[in-house]
Amino acid sequence: MAKYNLKINGKTRNVDVDPSTPMLWVLRDTLNMPGTKFGCGMAECGACTIHLDGNATRSCVLPVSAIGKSAITTIEGLSENGTHPVQKAWLEHDVAQCGYCQGGQIMSAAALLKSNPKPSDEDIDNAMSGNICRCGTYLRIKEAIKTAAKASKTK
Amino acid sequence: MENIKSQSRRDFLRSSALAGGGLMLSFSWFSSKAAEKAVELNLAEPVWSELAAYIKITPDNVIKILVPNPEFGQNVMTSLPMIVAEELDCDWKNVVVEMSTHDNVKYGMQFTGGSNSVRMYWKPLRNAGAAARQMLIDAAAQAWGVSASEITTKLGVLSHSSGKTAKYGEMAAKAATLAVPKDVKLKAPKDFSIVRNSKKNTEGLKVVTGKPLFGMDYRVDGMLIAMIQHPPAFGMKLKSFDPTATKKMPGIKDVFSFKLYDDGFEQAGFDTRTFNEMIAIVGNSTWEVMNARKKINAQWETAGDLKETVMGRGGKTEKVVPARLETTSSQFEMMAEYAKKPAQQLRKDGDPETAFKNAAQIIERTYNAPFLAHNCMEPMNFFAHVQDDKALVSGPIQAPGWMEPTLSKLLNLPADKIEIQMTRMGGGFGRRAYAQYAYEVARISQKMKAPIKLIYTREDDMTYGIYRPMYTATYRAALDVNKNLIGFHVIGGGIPENPIHANRFPAGAVDNYLAEGWEIPSNITIGAFRAPRSNFNAAAEQSFLDEVAQAMGKDPIAFRLDLLKRAKENPVGKNNDYDASRYIGVLELLKEKSGWGKPENAGKKRGVAAYFCHASYAGHVVDMVMRDGQPYVESVTSAVDCGVVVNPDAARNMVQGAVVDGIGQSFYGALTHKDGVAEQNNFHNYRMIRHNEAPKKIDVHFVENDIDPTGLGEPPFPPVFGAVANALFKTTGKRHYNQPFMSEVGRES
């Protein structure tokens, strides 16, 4: 076990866990923040996507010992009350079916728009193809990302 | 308890209240800001007056509608309350939505599957809404001293010609004391104002903000985490194991083997038994349990033939599960052998033998498909807290009503001492109709005398599955010298299930028709997978019909319409499952909306298919392109007749999802075995359709009619396979008979 001070959603959180523990399980089990989902455990599905210093990162293969001073954002901290343009666009397009993957999809989309405010269809495919949606909501996700891109631009 | 701080006082009050009763997680259920505000103003625990089982109203006019069926993405948390609210005649803005408790007496079967939710609850929920409305009217009539017949309702307000008005909330307490009326008048479909008007997902905000909704998110104080080590191959069992090293790992509470069912246990139809004896690893946290599990030192051995007694819908059967370590290539060889043996006749019309003997041309094609894993995004999991005199279980489950009697037998507790809570499911697709994971955690909790959450890893989920069976079918068509279809024959089988629906199209449309089936038993466990059997039949039959139309020199839609016209006007045989008029309606809508046969679409590589299942009709036109030497579905036009469409935008979402799912499964889906071991165990080697492989456009059209709703979750799925196969032929110039199609396309190139 080892002690870590983690910067998560703008707050400092202290945890005492095995250094090999993936950030996913620190969030879910230790900190009771279950918005970040377990899907595959090998960075193949994207359900566990968080932001590490603003970059989309798969938390299921990211050991807590590798975090250092980096700032973590989770779906719970993306905005207060779901007001991030990507979250709003997701609601506008009523994207979700089962909803399990959508937190990860939103985190990938938010990171994409931060680095590329006007993504092409191809940019969206490239950035999002690591996130599986078993219900098949890919079209709506793409539409929602475009809506969010427009909303961010006009703001 | 840091999480409590971030909660509003209202959430806290609610979670406290719920925790006392059933340890439910602390999340609020509000569907609209107005309703949320209304409850917030009334900080004390709201006073709910219950009307007609599904409806509760506060004096402040907040209307809570209970949803009886578990949610797995079919959007029942929105569509079912819409049906109630329609007949209640209330303002949707005042509605809050809550998953009901499990109570089959009060709420009926509470089953999510078979595209049944809206279909099954359409009438009961309309009746409940209309009965509650009548009770509110009667209460107002008494309060105002007027005749009930003079009172009207609109948007949750009662009005009388004298000018008196009252909101529902004002009359709710009195109304709740009245008897629930039995014969209530329902609205005419033309008067619907909520149903048929798209409403946003009532849980959308919770989904996009990462609120704990799923079984995987369930948590109570003192809860331990469990995982299961199952045998490495179908056909193997535990020989012995040494828990010493595992028990010494940090955070581990116990490691033990357990039996799912006791010897001689009579299983119900959906009590699957992939492996009966397994090793449980129980500890404080998921990561600790995952690590400790790697230290398990277990020996496995080949299991012998297994006899089991199953009490299914067809009565009691004794099944023998053969001792074999199965391999996919030999399974296909075995199926090819079985296909030559005499099979069970399922339906015969006319004289097919003579028709084939006299045929000028016979077209014969064989279609194959592999096992498929459900791969729900949320891996299987469940919570249980079993005590001496009661038990609480909670998690993602499609069929709580089937689980209850089995749990009662397993735990030796009366059913009314077992509380079942239904969390939102991260997908189901049929997989969660089989509650073995809930039985497993109940067994583990019983042994540990502690609250336990069982988690499957993705590898567990994929290698220890309840798969879509392997299927094969051979179709034969007899044509006379004038290229008329004079005979049709299908013989199908599978491991371990025969796929054939003998009374479906084109049965009823061909004078001489024969359908036969056979089955090969297996120790690989199978179960329902989105549109069971149909998902294979539609692929095979619809691509075969395409090829027959080609041989006859007919347009594929015109050919189907000709056959359906025959089935409508002068049907062959009895017991045809489908309504030919609705089938024709869907094909005609599809033809119109896709611009089928129009000059502007002449250059497109198009495939068409339509299918009937779960009482609905669906068809697709798929346009395919080649990019970088690979085929992709570029755009899709879909037509569906599912009767009244309750929530149109969500229904479109469902159809779009079914299209993407169908493309993915037909192109890439396969679960294969070598010596009983699943050869795919995670998403790096089980290919799922991804963003860049999805179509750019899916236009969905519904046939407009006033027929009571029929299924929607499954019907659009099966015809995708056929339409993809037919478009693939146009794109590559070759017919593809074996799924997944991309494995063949890969071999050719």
3-state secondary structure at position B61: coil
Say whether both A7 and A73 belong to one domain.
yes
Q: In this complex, do B697 and A142 lie within 8 Å of one another by their Cβ atoms? A: no
On chain B, the residues whose CB falls within 8 A of the CB of A129 are 690-692
Taking CA atoms, what residue in B is nearest to A90? B208
Q: In this complex, do A136 and B207 lie within 8 Å of one another by their Cβ atoms? A: no
Taking CA atoms, what residue in B is nearest to A20? B287
Say whether both A89 and A41 belong to one domain.
no
pTM of the shown model: 0.94
3-state secondary structure at position B649: helix
The last residue of one of the domains, among A77, A97, A123, is A77
Q: Is B653 on the interface with A (CB under 8 A)?
A: yes
Q: How many CB atoms lie within 10 A of CB B223?
A: 17
Number of domains in chain A: 2
Least Cα separation, residue A154 to chain B (angstroms)? 22
Q: Which of B4, B5, B27, B209 to mutate to test binding with chain A, by most A CBs within 10 Å of its CB?
A: B209
On chain B, the residues whose CB falls within 8 A of the CB of A41 are 457-459, 682
Contact B375, B462 (CB under 8 A): yes
Distances in Å between the Cα of B539 and the Cα atoms of A135, B450, B469, B663 are 20, 48, 14, 11
Which CATH topology does B222-307+374-463 take? Aldehyde Oxidoreductase; domain 4 (3.30.365)
What's the pLDDT score for residue B11? 36
The last residue of one of the domains, among A77, A95, A115, is A77
Q: In this complex, do B225 and A29 lie within 8 Å of one another by their Cβ atoms? A: yes
DSSP H helical ranges for B412-555: 436-448, 458-463, 534-552
Q: Is A41 on the interface with B (CB under 8 A)?
A: yes
The answer for residues whose C-beta is within 8 angstroms of residue B188's C-beta and 6 or more apart is: none
Q: How many CB atoms lie within 10 A of CB B551?
A: 14
Q: Is A128 on the interface with B (CB under 8 A)?
A: yes
E strands along B54-197, which residues? 55-57, 63-67, 95-99, 151-154, 157-160, 165-167
- What's the pLDDT tens digit per position in B323-349? 899 999 999 999 999 999 999 999 999
**CATH number of the domain at B535-748, out of 3.30.365.10, 3.40.50.740, 3.30.450.40, 3.40.50.620?**
3.30.365.10
Q: In this complex, do A82 and B654 lie within 8 Å of one another by their Cβ atoms? A: no
Q: Is A8 on the interface with B (CB under 8 A)?
A: no
Pairing of strands B157-160, B165-167: antiparallel
Candidate from B73, B213, B697 with C-beta closest to A135:
B73
CATH of the domain at A101: 1.10.150.120
On chain B, the residues whose CB falls within 8 A of the CB of A131 are 690-691
Contact B230, B276 (CB under 8 A): no
What's the pLDDT score for residue B501? 97
What's the pLDDT score for residue B39? 52
Q: In this complex, do A136 and B683 lie within 8 Å of one another by their Cβ atoms? A: no
| CA torsion through residues B612, B613, B619, B620, sign | negative
Least Cα separation, residue B747 to chain A (angstroms)? 25
Say whether both A67 and A111 belong to one domain.
no
What's the pLDDT score for residue B311? 79
Whole-number Å distance between alpha carbons of B417 and B393: 11
Task: Give pairs for B415-418: CB < 8 Å, separation 24+.
Answer: B417/B389, B417/B390, B417/B391, B418/B390, B418/B391, B418/B392, B418/B393
Residue B66, amino acid = L
Say whether both A69 and A96 belong to one domain.
no
B31-202 and B535-748, same CATH topology: yes
Say whether both A18 and A59 belong to one domain.
yes
Say whether both A46 and A21 belong to one domain.
yes
Domains in chain B: boundaries: 31-202, 222-307+374-463, 535-748
Stretches where chain B sits below pLDDT 70 are: 1-45, 313, 746-749
Tell whether omega for the bond before B496 is within 30 degrees of 0, i.e. cis. Answer: yes
Q: Is B204 on the interface with A (CB under 8 A)?
A: yes
Pairing of strands B391-395, B630-641: unpaired
Q: Is A87 on the interface with B (CB under 8 A)?
A: yes
Point out which residues pair with A55 in neighbouring strands.
A52
- What's the pLDDT tens digit per position in B23-57? 222 233 334 455 555 555 444 567 888 898 899 99
Least Cα separation, residue A19 to chain B (angstroms)? 11
Say whether both A68 and A19 belong to one domain.
yes
Per the structure, the complete domain to which residue A91 belongs is given by: 85-154
Q: In this complex, do A91 and B653 lie within 8 Å of one another by their Cβ atoms? A: no
Q: Is B621 on the interface with A (CB under 8 A)?
A: no
- The residue-averaged pLDDT of A114-119 equals 97
| Residue in B540, B534, B469, B474 with CA at minimum distance from that of residue B339 | B474
Say whether both A31 and A49 belong to one domain.
yes
Least Cα separation, residue B84 to chain A (angstroms)? 21
Average pLDDT, chain A: 97
Q: Is A76 on the interface with B (CB under 8 A)?
A: yes
Say whether both A73 and A35 belong to one domain.
yes
Say whether both A57 and A118 belong to one domain.
no
Q: Is A63 on the interface with B (CB under 8 A)?
A: no
Say whether both A112 and A142 belong to one domain.
yes
CATH 3.30.365.10, domain B31-202, yes or no:
yes
Q: Is A28 on the interface with B (CB under 8 A)?
A: yes
DSSP H helical ranges for B344-491: 352-357, 400-411, 436-448, 458-463
Say whether both A125 and A144 belong to one domain.
yes
Least Cα separation, residue A152 to chain B (angstroms)? 18
What's the pLDDT score for residue B36? 55
CATH of the domain at A38: 3.10.20.30
The last residue of one of the domains, among A77, A103, A137, is A77
Q: In this complex, do B691 and A128 lie within 8 Å of one another by their Cβ atoms? A: yes
Q: What are phi and psi of B18, to 5 degrees?
A: -70, -40
